[in-house]
Structure 1
Amino acid sequence: MVSTGKSDRIARRSRTIAWGGWLLAAALSTVGCASFSREDPVAKFDNIQRELTETRKYPVQQASLEQKTSPLPDLPDLSPKSVTQKVKEVAGYGTKPDEAKQLYAEAEQAYREAVELDEDERAGRLLKVADQFRSAAALWPSSALEEDALFMAGESYFFADSYPKANEEYERLLKKFPNSRYLDRAEAKRFSIAQFWLARNEQNPDQFYEFNLFDGTRPRRDTGGHALRVFDRIRFDDPTGKLADDATLALANAAFRKGDYVKADEFYTDLRRTFPSSEHAFDAHFIGLKAKLLAYRGPDYAGTLLDEAEVLVTQIRKQFPDRADQESEYLNRAYAEVRFRKAERLWSRVSYHRMRQEYGAARYYARQLLDEFSDTPFKAKADEMMASSQNKPATPPQRLSWLVNMFPESDPVKPLLKSDSATTKRR
């Protein structure tokens, strides 16, 4: 007799088998018997041909790259330059080539007439002509006419002895047209303006509280500072130009005369390195040597300037033998001064260590002084120091040793993990 639990398990298993058979029959009816039979090759070829024929009835359309697309709507140009131009056009100051040409021709004729006038009338007339050239330049911006007009405006101000305005117009020209055909002429005028300002300031220096209200040839204030700025701008605006080395020398000489020997040394060094074939090469070496010796601050400061000065003495004698013969007295004196200053630096170290009773270090620097600078007055001092400290210890004795011994000596720090010797070798 079969138990009830066993009969239930048999019934569930029968239902599972029935469901599986039903699903298998459904799958076979869907796939068909062709899946289990070998397909006829001729029939397969006919089916492929029929599919290709049906596909040709509906060909794929190729995209055309020449097909025009709908244009995007025009957006307004809101760049600062465009906005400024629009504002000028609304105000009546837009681009007007015809008016610009006419105004430039009138200004050019007025300029020819003005330069023929007497000195008293010429300046006022040229100031008006300069304004005409500026107006012509504004009517046709970014054109060849603007370039000509800006240069002529600067020329008008220059010959009217209004040097600040002339320099301003030349700078506007070179800022807008860096490779202008007037570059050399404009730089020459700026150089002469800077020379005039610098000479005027050296004769009668401006006070920090002074304001120039009546002299049109000078800036409102700080005439010397404006001159140096123009020289510096000439170096950067046209670094390979004819006046770049002259401007560098002018800056160096101005700093030297002012007593700023560090700044002068920088400019002379720049002149030697940037313009090695300049006509001012000897001055850059010779006056640069003086600047280095005057810029040296003493044994408590770096001795780089002394090393560089010694190199300059050697270079002057090799590169400029004729001029070196003429200046041989100064060069010999400069070389002796360099050696004296270097020996002084070593003696300063000897004195420092002897004061601290560190006789080992003192004797080391004294021997170096005797080996390298035995021709200086410090040789006798070094000999005396070596003799007096011969039997003295290299390092001073420990002071208050009883107090130092009261404190325990700290052991060296031990690592937390001991490293394997094999691992250490592999690293």
Structure 2
Amino acid sequence: MLRKTLLALALTSLVTPVVAWEIPFFGGSEDEAAADKGDRVGGRDWWRKHKKQAIIVPGKGYEVPGFDGYFDGNGVPIAASVDEQTIHLDNKLEREKGLLPGLDPKTAVTRVRAAAGYGPDQQTAETLFKEGVALFEEGKYDPAAVKFEAAANRWPGTELASKSLFNLGESYYFADKYKDASDAYVQLLDKHPSTPKLDATIERLWKIAQYWEQTYFGESWHAPLDYRPFAQTVPTLDTVGHAVRLYDAIRLNDPTGPRADDAIMATAEVYRRRNRFADADYHYSLLRHEYPRSEHQFEAHLLGLQAKMLLYHGPEYDSSPLLDAKRLEELTRINFSGRLTDEQRNQLTEMRAQIARAIEERDLQMAAYYEGTEHIAAAKYYLNRVAKKNPDSPAAEQARTKLAEIQGLPDSPEVPMEWLVNLFPENKQYESINSVQEIPAATLSPDGGQTMIAEGPAPGGETTTR
């Protein structure tokens, strides 16, 4: 019978989402009924008339001039303090209903819960909270979790709900159900970002993420998608991915806290160990730029340098990672010159030599490309750069040999049937470029030019010069 009643209520809320339930009025005209309903303090029409004059009182609710007590965002009288963040002048739920509010499952569930007697109730929530504390102190963590979750649902958006969510996470944590515990902690940070339990919550998330990361990398084999159907202390799927999720939650919810830079560094290390060097490089760069005082700065420089080198795939590909690595190596040597050990200094020296060899290889490749297209001048440019930068290297000797071979070749390829090409009109873009007159070299020197100094308007309205 109860199931049929709940189903009927749910269907009614979906079919008539906008029209509120009203008790029929007997014993008077419709105008008298409307007047009575409009004068009722706390009614829907009363709140519609007076909400523009409502004044928010942090920690208490809305105060309406001329009426006693406080009201929530829907105009319902309240007698207990509420979380300031849950009070809005405009009802957020009404704004986010969309085009088909009757199909919103949250709205339907909320109405069914309220109709079945499970709506917001402070007294019930306080009772559930006390029962949960008693069960937790007895070591009955699973039953305590049920009580705390029910307390948070019965009085949402309040300080009591904040405490209930934290205790919910603690119950799951001590029951070794770390996935459920992390969900409760993240929900607490999402709904109550200014919770006084912020530091404790962040520390719990850090320990859970560290445990999941160590569990994943401590195993030599993983099932597809890291599927663990019987696991309790780790997620069922993608253990290390959930660890990264918690690291992100730490950084985003407490960006100035003591664990923020640790979380970024841990995330970068996870990506590096999984050979996702682009993601690792991003987080190393984030740590270098956003947390300059972090104790991980040197590791972020050195490991970021390695990540950039691993992003470079050879002379046939983009050279941006290689050039970025060159700049980062120079910055690392300058910024940490006073604290480098001999081993670290040798690592940087080896890295610098590796970068130099890669640049020489790329320049030789570019020279070979331009030689193949008969653009000898461009080929000579790259060969000369290799020969002059490190004259004693094998690449420099190879560049000098190649320069001697192409010395007598024309700088540019001959245009086939050039006389025929010249008969066709020139492209407008190149025509405008070629029309620019070249400045004589004499005018570019200090002695060959003439300084023009404007002195002001002449009597005739013209500017004179000397």
TM-score, length-scaled by structure 2? 0.66
Give the AA of the match of 2:133: E
Counterpart of 2:143 (choices 122, 128, 136) is: 128
Render the CA deviation track for 1:333-391: whole Å, top value 9, x for unaligned: 11111111111111111111223333222112212222333343211011111212222
Provide the residue aligned with 2:114 in structure 1: 89
Provide the residue aligned with 1:330 in structure 2: 347
Provide the residue aligned with 2:124 in structure 1: 99
Distance 2:427 2:289 in 1: 55
Provide the residue aligned with 1:412 in structure 2: 425
Q: Equivalent residues in 2 for 1:33-112 (5 A)? A: 73=38, 74-75=44-45, 79=94, 86-112=111-137
Render the CA deviation track for 1:258-277: whole Å, top value 9, x for unaligned: 12222211110111011111
Provide the residue aligned with 2:331 in structure 1: 315
Unaligned runs of 5+ in 1: 1-69, 115-124, 416-427
Distance 1:396 1:408 in 2: 15
8 Å CA contact 2:387, 2:397 repeated in 1:
no
Counterpart of 2:156 (choices 124, 128, 141) is: 141
Render the CA deviation track for 1:16-45: whole Å, top value 9, x for unaligned: xxxxxxxxxxxxxxxxxxxxxxxxxxxxxx
Q: Equivalent residues in 2 for 1:146-157 (5 A)? A: 146-157=161-172
Provide the residue aligned with 1:40 in structure 2: none
Distance 1:289 1:210 in 2: 30
- Max Rg structure: 1
Provide the residue aligned with 1:361 in structure 2: 378
Provide the residue aligned with 2:184 in structure 1: 169
Aligned pair in 2 of structure 1 residues 324, 71: CA closer, same or farther (>3 Å)? farther
Distance 1:408 1:384 in 2: 36
Distance 1:159 1:233 in 2: 21
Provide the residue aligned with 1:253 in structure 2: 269
8 Å CA contact 1:349, 1:365 repeated in 2:
yes
8 Å CA contact 2:206, 2:246 repeated in 1:
yes
Distance 1:196 1:291 in 2: 25
Provide the residue aligned with 1:8 in structure 2: none
Say what the alpha-carbon RMSD is for the aligned residues: 2.6
1:280: Cα distance to partner? 0.8
Provide the residue aligned with 2:309 in structure 1: 293
Provide the residue aligned with 1:201 in structure 2: 216
Identify which range, 209-218 or 323-332, moves more after superposition: 209-218
Query: SS at the partner of 1:220?
Result: coil
Distance 1:104 1:370 in 2: 78
Render the CA deviation track for 1:96-140: whole Å, top value 9, x for unaligned: 2222222212211221121xxxxxxxxxx2111111111122221
Provide the residue aligned with 2:284 in structure 1: 268
Distance 2:303 2:333 in 1: 14
Identify which range, 303-312 or 173-182, moves more after superposition: 303-312
8 Å CA contact 2:149, 2:164 repeated in 1:
yes
8 Å CA contact 2:225, 2:238 repeated in 1:
no
Pairing 1:182–2:197 present: yes
Distance 2:335 2:409 in 1: 50
Provide the residue aligned with 1:341 in structure 2: 358
Aligned pair in 2 of structure 1 residues 72, 95: CA closer, same or farther (>3 Å)? closer
Query: SS at the partner of 1:391?
Result: coil
Unaligned runs of 5+ in 2: 1-34, 39-43, 49-73, 75-92, 98-105, 429-466
Aligned pair in 2 of structure 1 residues 71, 284: CA closer, same or farther (>3 Å)? farther
Provide the residue aligned with 2:394 in structure 1: 377
Paired residues, number? 332
8 Å CA contact 2:268, 2:281 repeated in 1:
yes
TM-score, length-scaled by structure 1? 0.71
Aligned pair in 2 of structure 1 residues 393, 151: CA closer, same or farther (>3 Å)? same
Provide the residue aligned with 2:298 in structure 1: 282
Give the AA of the match of 1:282: F
Distance 2:247 2:341 in 1: 33
Give the AA of the match of 2:383: A
1:285: Cα distance to partner? 0.7
Aligned pair in 2 of structure 1 residues 170, 373: CA closer, same or farther (>3 Å)? same
Distance 2:366 2:283 in 1: 32
Query: SS at the partner of 1:366?
Result: helix
Distance 1:408 1:314 in 2: 50
8 Å CA contact 1:234, 1:244 repeated in 2:
yes
1:405: Cα distance to partner? 7.5
8 Å CA contact 1:347, 1:366 repeated in 2:
yes
Distance 1:101 1:323 in 2: 57
Give the AA of the match of 2:250: I
Distance 1:221 1:112 in 2: 32
8 Å CA contact 1:252, 1:264 repeated in 2:
yes
Provide the residue aligned with 1:22 in structure 2: none
Distance 2:300 2:376 in 1: 44
Larger proportion of helix: 1
Render the CA deviation track for 1:233-259: whole Å, top value 9, x for unaligned: 222222222211111101111111112
Give the AA of the match of 2:208: I
Pairing 1:389–2:406 present: yes
Distance 1:411 1:82 in 2: 72
8 Å CA contact 1:339, 1:376 repeated in 2:
no
